Structure 1
Amino acid sequence: MRLGKIMYIQWLAAVFLSVFLGLGQAHAAIVSSINVEGNERVDASTVTAYFPVMVGDNVDDVILNEAVKRLFDTGLFRDVRITQTNGQVRIIIAENPVVSRIYFEGNDALKTEELEAELTLKERTVFTPSRAEADARRILNLYQRSGRYAAKVEPKIIERDQNRVDVVFEVFEGEKTYIENIGFVGNEAFDDGDLRGQILSEEYSFLRSLFSAAAVYDQDRLAVDREKIVQFYRANGFADITVDPAFVRISDNEEAFSIVFTIIEGPQYTFGKFDVVTRLPGVDPEYLKTLVEAEEGDVFSQLVVDDADEHITLIAEERGYAFAEVRTSESKNRETRVIDMTFELLEGRKVFIERIDIIGNVRTRDNVIRREFDIVEGDPFNRTNLRIAQRALERLNYFSKVEVSETAGTAPDKVVVVVKVEEQSTGELSLGAGFSTVDSYVASVGLKERNLLGTGRTLDASFSIGSTSTQIDVGLIEPYLLGRDVSGSLDVFIIEEDFEDESSYESSDTGFTLGMGFNLAEFNRLKLSYTLKQEEITDVPSTASLSIQESEGEFLISTLSATHTHARDFIRFGPEAGYSISSTIDWNGVGGDVTYVQTRLKASGNYEIFDDVNAKIVGEVGQIFTYGGYDSRINDRFQLGGFQLRGFERAGIGPRDSVSDDSLGGEKYTVVRSEVDFPLGLGEDFGFRGAAYADAGTVWGVGERGSTTNVVGDEAKMRAAVGVGLIWTSPFGPLRFNLSYPVLEESFDKTETFQFSAGTRF
């Protein structure tokens, strides 16, 4: 019999007995004395405090019954009887036992400490069956949240002397309950595979279960999935989208779930007219319109609306309107399927932030969270800034859930910002294996902690070994150096590389890099670094090119570097649309044995030309400038080929020794890679995409040291290749197959028709 039923029967018996014994005293009597019997730990005055009358008061059966109930409700007693004879009241009690010890049996998947944290019962507290039952339900909920819906928890007691009990929670954990199928009803614009690609939950497969918990059933995750489906539809023009809560069915053996999302898509809308309304002096509505990254006739996107909202608010703040807020309104024409957008910029009510409360950060320090806010206590309150801060916290990937809300403060013009987070694991152990036609085999192991001791620092250690290289790397990143929005980094490395096939030598580098980075302006970032390394070129045979023989030996290299990056996203052109331009200058010669300056410029862009058809282009140029009578070595110069220039082997083009056939590299290079990737019509579940590409590039200029050898190909002659590729996001990791055809080449170039790469991390 369950503990709750026992308690209920005892209470009924006590009430019945009290009534039965009091039948002879049906009429009211005057209380002449009150005596408490059976109490051991509970003081008699505590018992009489719950008795509704005192000596001299009238008492009847109704009052006695109410007294029995009140004493039971205290949770201190397992039995209560009250009798009254000629005004003499006897309160006879049996105290609930005290918890001596608490045990768990059968828990393997969850640690005892995790289960103890769910308990309201504690050692040396009063035991009640209802509390034990409630704790059992809390433990069961914990197991269900971890995906074990077949779990069962039963509380048992072992009686000890001195009215003490041991409480034992017997646990049957069962197996994890996985998601067998995820289906959708009502989706016409997007197939099931497209929608599965938007949500966090995944269907079970053995290989997938080894690498991810996304196939384990989780109610909270399903709620997030529903919101992600809504966001996806609204980002693609479906402003009337509704998604019902997921219908969930568990199999008869309670081992698997089937999930169905019911969707009402509605029509796809396009943007109509854009209007910005404001009465704020010094703010030009026409200029604010230019901040909307869409035009009339474009497919409606909530992402565009949100982005415009933020940009307009930030511009208003720059103009001195700290309390500015934007109200967006949609005017839908369901016949023409057009939405006119109005952005109304208001000064807003003057409200200040009284304080920022942070809840749930059991590991991450408060200051790590607070520094992601551009606002502090006392600043003007603005919801746009809260949305920006929430996204910044989510991007940290320290938390499984981030909620930023506000509540009323101590005055009408004050609010309290509440930041609620749920911590998640930030440590990673990765093992890797791969193979490619460029690098042959490679294996790696890595340890990474993205939130070291809750400080927000990243510690990364890795070791990799392959047929052509071995690398050990340990790095530490401080994202806010000295409490400022300046990142600092330290990287220590040992690298050994084998270039015997390409250029008849091996090299090794041992050194460290100190770096710092900071934002110059919106979309612009500057990184400065200093590298000191000992480089050695060895195993150069006598048959090697003279240029390489002269490069043999040990060299101390001291380098100052600066990289400026300008990057922007353009969500109106696709979820990954945008561009990036970076320029780097390395000054080798701050001491050390080499003196040259290396410059590089790289530009890249992504654009969605059709639905789920993406175009990418990358262009690079670089040059070395030597000074002080220094001649560039083989390791100083640029090489092209492999995945940098598809259709050619690694170091397969450019200046070459015609006698030894060694690639010498060049002091100048340029390369352009362009590609279009597209779905193959097999659905997102299969993970296959196709690609078509065209690459072109050249490398030239061996310098004085290289010009003394039998050099061919030291001209800026362009090489080019076209090809097709198959990309497979497999359970084993990403695989890519390239089939290339060189269309511009020299007779001494090393071409490569087929390229293959595979790898995974687990």
Structure 2
Amino acid sequence: MTRKLGTRAVALMTALTMAAPVALMPLAASAYVFNDVRIEGAQRIEPGTILSYANIARGQDVSAGELNDALQRLQNSGLFESVEVVPQGNLLVIRVAEYPTINQISFEGNRRIKDDQLAQMVQSQPRRVYQPSLAIADASGIAQAYAAQGRLAARVDPRIIRRSDNRIDLVFEIREGNVTEIERISFTGNRAFSDRRLRQVLETKQAGLLRTFIRRDTFAPERIPLDEQLLTDYYRSRGYADFRVQGVAPELARERDAFYITFNIQEGPRYRFANVNTVSEIPGVDASAFAAQNRVSRGDVYNPAVIDNTIRRMETVAIQQGLNFVNIEPRVTRNPQNQTLDLTFALTRGQRVFVERIDIEGNTTTLDEVIRRQFTVVEGDPFNPREIRNAAERIRALGYFSDAQVDSRQGSSSEQVIVDVNVEEQPTGSLSFGASYGVASGVGFNASLNEANFLGRGQSVGLTISTASDEQQASFSFAEPYFLGRDLRFGFTTWYQVTDSLNSYYDTRSVGISPSIEFPISANGRLELRYRLAKDTLLNVDRGDAEADPPRLGSSPILLREEESGGLWSSSLGYSYKYDTRITGLDPLTGYKLNFSQDYAGLGGDIEMVTTTLLAGIESRAWREEVALRAEFEAGALHPLNDYTTRITDRFRGGSKIRGFEPNGIGPRDLEAGNQDALGGNYFWAARAEAQFPIGLPEEYGITGGLFADIGSIWGLEDRVGQDGVLVDDGMHVRAAIGASIFWTTPIGPLRFNFSKAVKKMDYDDEQNFDLTISTRF
């Protein structure tokens, strides 16, 4: 139980250093002879134990120094609060006062850490003998727990309250103090990149507006080595081969409420590759096939990742040619005078070493096969250190383990190696609730249940339910990432989605299932094959009111005719090719993505058409990497087959393809109809460009600005006969919008504020001049 002391603290008798002065009566210089020893004050400790510590022999000469040694041994035993050694003629009297027993332990002044958590940290326990050294260690442990939360100014003082029967109450008085935040991170020696840009690289952050929520702005010494490595990787991937962190100086303010961290760095010159060649030092091995895999070109900026990628490709050639124990050794020669590097890939003969076995420990839930399949080698294969390192990275990337260590050691002989895999599992399931907001869709809520390592098999399952003012949906997904024991991802998704007048005068309902197979076809490319079975329904189209005075027209007859067809089944087979250079990250400044997909609907069902979409994008950094530039081009086409007429549920309907316009805000419309709903189109294209840049605020606030420009169009209908038989204009009318954005990275999710203005539009288009999007989980 916890006892709060209040004003009674002044009645405390003593503290940790309560041991009374031990006394040794004045002794003559001559030796003593003791025929008997009497022990006084011992209650719990046996006399034999005390005599063994004193180690005074009866009937023998004992000097004053030996008596003092006996006193010191008793004092240092940690068993007594006070000790006296008193010679009385031939009698030696040892008076002791034992340490009291702890009656109870309580904590005062703690709010950030609860009593039950603190109780688990301390080693002192009720009903055990009080030990001052242990109480001091407990106080230090509690202070360290507060320091881990960034409260370096926390103070913990152990106090005692005397009780009857030689008992005490042990009280830890805690002054938590404020969070010791990092007020400033600065750099010396940097010329190529600004302090702002380098701070973005670090895991440690400065304190800012959100200091109450962000815990990376508290000083953690264990993060410093990681920050040093992040800086080193950042510079070296940009050509600074000689970069190094010369020192890190964390300085604590006098008030212990703030840290100032300075990184002293040496950039060195920026190198480019000059002469690049490949040589073979193995008799009978031709270097030409290996040279063909070289991805390092003259004039390229030095990047260790590009060298590593080339070595990996050359090692693959060695495996294909059946060459074992081949080392690809990169030999770099610096030319500081012209800031270039000469690079030679040398094929050398390595030591003959084989994998004896792979031992896996620490996995209590995850099956061994889930871990083993991350290795491309098995027992008996030639040992390849690079492959072992790559397997370790793949194991960590699974996300199933809080820690994964892969090491090798000598096996039963010098030609055998044992690979040890030691993992520490972590929870892989999550139940999350969230909220979202969009100007068009309003406030929405969602709940999801996900398991990334289902039954320890590496499979993922997910259930999501979300609702907004105009849209509700539920979905279930399952994925097996290693189908049939190969790098073949099998998955399926089933969904149910309804819209309720989402910026329109009609509702839609969609229910379906889609199994898929996905596999890699290159280092950056993947191919997905899928089947989709769905039923899409258009309903509640506004029919107007002919009885009103004057009569009120409803939706276009085009939509009314589409509603009459009821729910239609779609049975389609499709594929997608995805290419993304960000997978390898060989170029730290520029990334490309490409997504091309086609779906053929007509394998049964009611819908017969081919849907084709294309998305190509590039992202790069400029102006000392302070500005992120992004550009995308997207297009799509529906091609009906066998006289099928597309419906609004099939066609492209705008959405977020062109900012500055509402969902369903552009595209062909029946201007003679009452509500002039957008009808969508069979074709669309959109080009988007965007720049994101700092706006002068401190980087730790997480606020940046942006400018964007979008242009595009939606067009094309088969059925164009609208109200009163007037043909709908379905031409390709270009729309364009420009705008500014504010990006804010917050603990509750990324926020984006878009302020836009349509500069080219049709009179009937629906503009959206402001948009706020937020999505979070808690």
Answer whether TM exceeds 0.5 for this pair. yes
- Which residue number corresponds to residue 250 of structure 2? 248
Q: Distance in 1 between matches of 2:262 and 2:410?
A: 39
Change (3 A) 1:124 1:501: closer
DSSP 3-state at the match of 2:230: helix
Change (3 A) 1:94 1:336: same
Mapping 1:297-312, distance limit 5 Å: 297-312=299-314
Mapping 1:624-663, distance limit 5 Å: 624-626=639-641, 631-639=645-653, 641-645=654-658, 650-651=663-664, 656-657=669-670, 659-660=672-673, 661-663=676-678
DSSP 3-state at the match of 1:110: coil
1:241-267: CA deviations, max 9, x gaps?
233443333444433333332232222
- Which residue number corresponds to residue 31 of structure 2? 26
DSSP 3-state at the match of 1:617: strand
1:595-634: CA deviations, max 9, x gaps?
435433434242538554635333433435556x865432
Change (3 A) 1:759 1:501: closer
Tell whether the 8 Å contact from 1:183 to 1:260 is kept in structure 2 after alignment. yes
- Which residue number corresponds to residue 726 of structure 1? 740
- Which residue number corresponds to residue 508 of structure 2? 507
Q: 1:596 aligns with which of 597, 600, 608?
A: 608
Q: Distance in 1 between matches of 2:744 and 2:525?
A: 36
- Which residue number corresponds to residue 7 of structure 2? none
Q: Distance in 2 between matches of 1:56 and 1:557?
A: 109
List runs of 5+ in structure 1 lacking aligned partners: none
Amino acid in the other structure paired with 1:537: L
Q: 1:217 aligns with which of 213, 216, 219?
A: 219
Amino acid in the other structure paired with 2:556: S
- Which residue number corresponds to residue 334 of structure 2? 332
Tell whether the 8 Å contact from 2:150 to 2:220 is kept in structure 1 after alignment. yes
Change (3 A) 1:519 1:105: farther
Tell whether the 8 Å contact from 1:565 to 1:582 is kept in structure 2 after alignment. yes
Q: 1:177 aligns with which of 161, 177, 180?
A: 180
Q: Distance in 2 between matches of 1:88 and 1:290?
A: 97
Q: 2:592 aligns with which of 578, 591, 595?
A: 578
Amino acid in the other structure paired with 1:702: E
Tell whether the 8 Å contact from 2:652 to 2:714 is kept in structure 1 after alignment. no
Q: 2:691 aligns with which of 666, 677, 698?
A: 677
Change (3 A) 1:261 1:487: same
Tell whether the 8 Å contact from 1:22 to 1:61 is kept in structure 2 after alignment. yes
**Cα offset for 1:219?**
2.7
1:147 aligns with 2:150: yes
Change (3 A) 1:23 1:326: farther
Q: Distance in 2 between matches of 1:3 and 1:483?
A: 66
DSSP 3-state at the match of 1:497: strand
- Which residue number corresponds to residue 774 of structure 2? 759
Q: 2:680 aligns with which of 661, 665, 675?
A: 665
Q: Distance in 2 between matches of 1:178 and 1:706?
A: 66
Tell whether the 8 Å contact from 1:486 to 1:517 is kept in structure 2 after alignment. yes
List runs of 5+ in structure 2 lacking aligned partners: 1-12, 544-553
Q: Distance in 2 between matches of 1:587 and 1:335?
A: 64
- Which residue number corresponds to residue 754 of structure 2? 736
Q: Distance in 2 between matches of 1:6 and 1:453?
A: 57
Change (3 A) 1:63 1:711: farther
DSSP 3-state at the match of 2:185: strand
Change (3 A) 1:672 1:633: closer
Tell whether the 8 Å contact from 1:471 to 1:496 is kept in structure 2 after alignment. yes
Q: Distance in 2 between matches of 1:93 and 1:2?
A: 18
Change (3 A) 1:218 1:317: farther
Tell whether the 8 Å contact from 1:33 to 1:89 is kept in structure 2 after alignment. yes
1:572-593: CA deviations, max 9, x gaps?
5444513333424365766xx6
1:623 aligns with 2:635: no
Amino acid in the other structure paired with 2:506: Y
Q: Distance in 1 between matches of 2:644 and 2:507?
A: 22
Tell whether the 8 Å contact from 2:722 to 2:728 is kept in structure 1 after alignment. no
1:11-32: CA deviations, max 9, x gaps?
xx2xx62xx57757637x7x98
DSSP 3-state at the match of 1:209: coil
More moved, 629-638 vs 479-488: 479-488
1:608 aligns with 2:623: no
Q: Distance in 2 between matches of 1:80 and 1:343?
A: 76
Tell whether the 8 Å contact from 1:251 to 1:257 is kept in structure 2 after alignment. yes
Amino acid in the other structure paired with 1:734: R
Amino acid in the other structure paired with 2:631: K
- Which residue number corresponds to residue 110 of structure 1? 113
DSSP 3-state at the match of 2:122: coil
More moved, 532-541 vs 197-206: 532-541
Q: 2:131 aligns with which of 122, 128, 131?
A: 128
- Which residue number corresponds to residue 581 of structure 2? 569
Q: Distance in 2 between matches of 1:353 and 1:311?
A: 25
- Which residue number corresponds to residue 273 of structure 1? 275
- Which residue number corresponds to residue 718 of structure 2? 702
DSSP 3-state at the match of 1:644: coil
1:712 aligns with 2:728: yes
Q: 2:499 aligns with which of 491, 497, 500?
A: 497
Q: 1:548 aligns with which of 549, 559, 562?
A: 559
DSSP 3-state at the match of 2:562: coil
Mapping 1:413-492, distance limit 5 Å: 413-414=416-417, 417=420, 419=422, 431-436=434-439, 439=440, 441-447=442-448, 457=460, 459=462, 461-466=464-469, 468-473=470-475
**Cα offset for 1:140?**
1.0
1:155-209: CA deviations, max 9, x gaps?
2334556655543322222222222222223322111221122122333233x33
**Cα offset for 1:417?**
4.0
- Which residue number corresponds to residue 261 of structure 1? 263
Change (3 A) 1:336 1:516: same
TM-score (norm: length of structure 2): 0.77
DSSP 3-state at the match of 2:193: coil
**Cα offset for 1:49?**
6.5
Q: Distance in 2 between matches of 1:729 and 1:315?
A: 46
Q: Distance in 1 between matches of 2:408 and 2:285?
A: 28
- Which residue number corresponds to residue 190 of structure 1? 193
Q: Distance in 2 between matches of 1:357 and 1:82?
A: 60
**Cα offset for 1:144?**
0.9
1:282-324: CA deviations, max 9, x gaps?
8754444454544222222233334444444455455556765
Change (3 A) 1:722 1:57: farther
Q: Distance in 2 between matches of 1:748 and 1:713?
A: 13
- Which residue number corresponds to residue 8 of structure 2? none
Q: Distance in 1 between matches of 2:66 and 2:423?
A: 48
Tell whether the 8 Å contact from 1:100 to 1:166 is kept in structure 2 after alignment. yes
Change (3 A) 1:161 1:61: same
DSSP 3-state at the match of 1:552: helix
Change (3 A) 1:506 1:120: same
Tell whether the 8 Å contact from 1:694 to 1:720 is kept in structure 2 after alignment. no
Q: 1:239 aligns with which of 232, 237, 241?
A: 241
Tell whether the 8 Å contact from 1:268 to 1:337 is kept in structure 2 after alignment. yes
Change (3 A) 1:375 1:250: same
Q: Distance in 2 between matches of 1:83 and 1:45?
A: 18
More moved, 231-240 vs 692-701: 692-701
Tell whether the 8 Å contact from 1:586 to 1:597 is kept in structure 2 after alignment. yes
Q: Distance in 2 between matches of 1:86 and 1:289?
A: 98
- Percent identity of paired positions between Structure 1 and Structure 2: 25
Change (3 A) 1:172 1:636: same
